[in-house]
Amino acid sequence: MSALTNQEVGAYCKRHFVSAFQKVATFQINGQQKQGGNVASYFCTSDGQVLHAVAGPVDAQTFLREARWANDTYQLALLENQKTLAQLRAFFRKAHLDRLQEEQRTRIAVDRLPDPNTVNTRALGQLLDHNQNAGLSNQGKVHLLLAVAPLPRLDQVYQVVFENILNEKITTRPVAGG
């Protein structure tokens, strides 16, 4: 699953995104082999609001599809003059709900969702814990999370993605050599 080493993925991301990383969990290096850990990729606005995410390692084709979806959806929102935060949130909420229905066969009525301004990290974690057995893939859980809380700040969701979708613990411990 080396999506990030794929030349096409690299070229697309270089053209459309600024890349950064943050280690939030620990793993061990045993010889040349990494053991443990996980990965989550986020597609954000320039001020750190999450448009979309990929939870877990995926192949290059999947990563590129998700990167293109995030970029194309954002460009479409701007083209349709969705410029305020409220307009962008409504646009992305619908986009994530549409993908949740199309890909996971899960339908949620917009009027049953909370106001995005009232959702906090704890509530999002509880939502995902409550829906663990709903048969959603990791990507389905991302769409559920970002439909409930569209365009959250990265600092509001990275822990939820890592702990409640990827089932990993956040830690500040350094990488352990073996």
Percent of the chain scored above 70 by pLDDT? Answer: 83
Q: How many CA atoms lie within 13 A of 134 on its CB side?
A: 20
Q: 48: helix, coil or strand?
A: coil
Q: Which of these, 37, 69, 66, 45, lies nearest to 54 by C-alpha position?
A: 66
For the cut 80, the answer to whether the pLDDT of residue 24 exceeds it is no
Give the containing element (helix H, strand E) for 72: helix 60-79
Give residue limits of the domains in the chain.
3-177
For the cut 80, the answer to whether the pLDDT of residue 174 exceeds it is no
pTM, two decimal places = 0.84
Q: How large is the angle between the packed helices 85-104 and 138-148, nearest 10 degrees?
A: 150
